[in-house]
């Protein structure tokens, strides 16, 4: 499978899993997200830019950079929850939500890091002039 196809699929999967995570945060009223306001508008705007970079700018440097930055930020919730960095750890939420949240955090971390690696490879191949 071509690198750009794998990267697009990984980025789309990461976006989907991130929406599950953000939805859970809103339902739990984490970080003020359930109260309404600007934060609830910022996340969809970021996801729109990331989706645009993934699909429309798929084989351009700007698209690779958008996917790289999006994947980097998408890896942060998983790292935070799995290591206990921040106020909410996976075990506390699993007691009330069940396994879906835990699975989402793990799957989000894996897909985000995989997407990050593929984005770096795409930028390196673009820089060296290799064909994809």
Structure pTM? 0.82
Domain ranges of the chain: 3-126
CA distance 23 to 28: 9
Whole-number pLDDT of residue 132: 47
pLDDT at residue 34 greater than cutoff 80: no
| Structure token pair of residue 124 | 């390196």
CA distance 20 to 33: 14
Whole-number pLDDT of residue 129: 73
Whole-number pLDDT of residue 90: 60
For the chain, the residue count is: 132
Whole-number pLDDT of residue 107: 93
72-73-78 Cα angle (round to 5): 95
Q: Please indicate whether residue 40 or residue 61 has the higher confidence score (pLDDT).
A: 61
Whole-number pLDDT of residue 108: 93
91-82-69 Cα angle (round to 5): 140
Helix axes 99-128, 3-28, angle to 10 degrees: 150
Between the alpha carbon of residue 38 and those of residues 15, 41, 83, 99, the distances in Å are 20, 5, 28, 30
Q: Please indicate whether residue 43 or residue 116 has the higher confidence score (pLDDT).
A: 116
pLDDT at residue 97 greater than cutoff 90: no
Q: How confident is the model at residue 8 (pLDDT cuts 50, 70, 90)?
A: very high
């Amino acid at each position: 499978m071509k690198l750009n196809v794998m990267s697009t699929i990984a980025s789309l999967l990461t976006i989907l899993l991130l929406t599950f995570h953000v939805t859970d945060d809103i339902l739990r009223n984490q970080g003020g997200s359930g109260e309404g306001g600007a934060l609830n508008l910022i996340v969809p705007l970021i996801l729109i830019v990331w989706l645009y970079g993934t699909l429309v700018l798929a084989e351009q440097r700007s698209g690779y950079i958008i996917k790289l930055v999006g994947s980097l930020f998408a890896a942060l919730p998983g790292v935070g929850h799995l290591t206990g960095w921040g106020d909410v750890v996976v075990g506390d939420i699993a007691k009330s939500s069940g396994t879906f949240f835990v699975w989402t955090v793990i799957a989000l971390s894996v897909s985000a890091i995989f997407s990050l690696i593929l984005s770096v490879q795409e930028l390196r191949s673009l820089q060296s002039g290799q064909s994809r």
